[in-house]
Amino acid sequence: MAGGNAIRGSRVGAGPMGEAERGESAPRLRVSFWCANGHETRPSFASDAQIPDGWDCPRCGFPAGQNRDNPPDPPRNEPYKTHLAYVRERRSEADGEAILAEALAKLRGEI
């Protein structure tokens, strides 16, 4: 058993910190934001701060807005695209045929 006259779990300077030590806190303003799932988030801002138009819902991650009846739409999840899908967006079928013919000609030693 450890001896000594220190109180377990305490440290120097530990104790209640009130406004006397920290100073007065800035006036705050609580603003409500709602997401598409109906979750309400109420972050607090300094009264002189610029309030953002949107906020991320901490429960579901959807964007939230200040209008309860018309919250922002949830983001659309784009399906995963393969490299070939991106190539097909950039090139037409005729372009692909021309590139393939050129590559085959190089392999055959025609160029």
- Residue whose pair of structure tokens reads 């979750």 in the numeric block: 39
**Strands annotated E in the chain:** 28-30, 33-35, 40-41, 44-46, 54-56, 63-65
Indicate yes or no: pTM above 0.85.
Answer: no
Cα separation, 46 vs 27, in Å, equals 6
- Residue whose pair of structure tokens reads 């220190």 in the numeric block: 6
CATH number (domain holding residue 33): 2.20.28.270
Which pLDDT does position 3 carry in this prediction?
58
- What residues make up the domain containing 32? 28-65
Which pLDDT does position 69 carry in this prediction?
94
Residue 4 lies in a domain: no
Which pLDDT does position 106 carry in this prediction?
92
90 is in an annotated binding site: no
Which pLDDT does position 72 carry in this prediction?
94
Which pLDDT does position 46 carry in this prediction?
92
Per-residue tens of pLDDT for the chain, all 111 residues: 555 665 666 666 666 656 666 677 789 999 999 999 999 999 999 999 999 999 999 999 999 999 999 999 998 888 888 998 888 889 888 998 999 999 999 999 876
Residue 70 lies in a domain: no
- Counted domains in the chain: 2
60 is in an annotated binding site: yes
Which pLDDT does position 104 carry in this prediction?
93
47 is in an annotated binding site: no
Q: Provide the 3-class DSSP secondary structure of residue 65.
A: strand
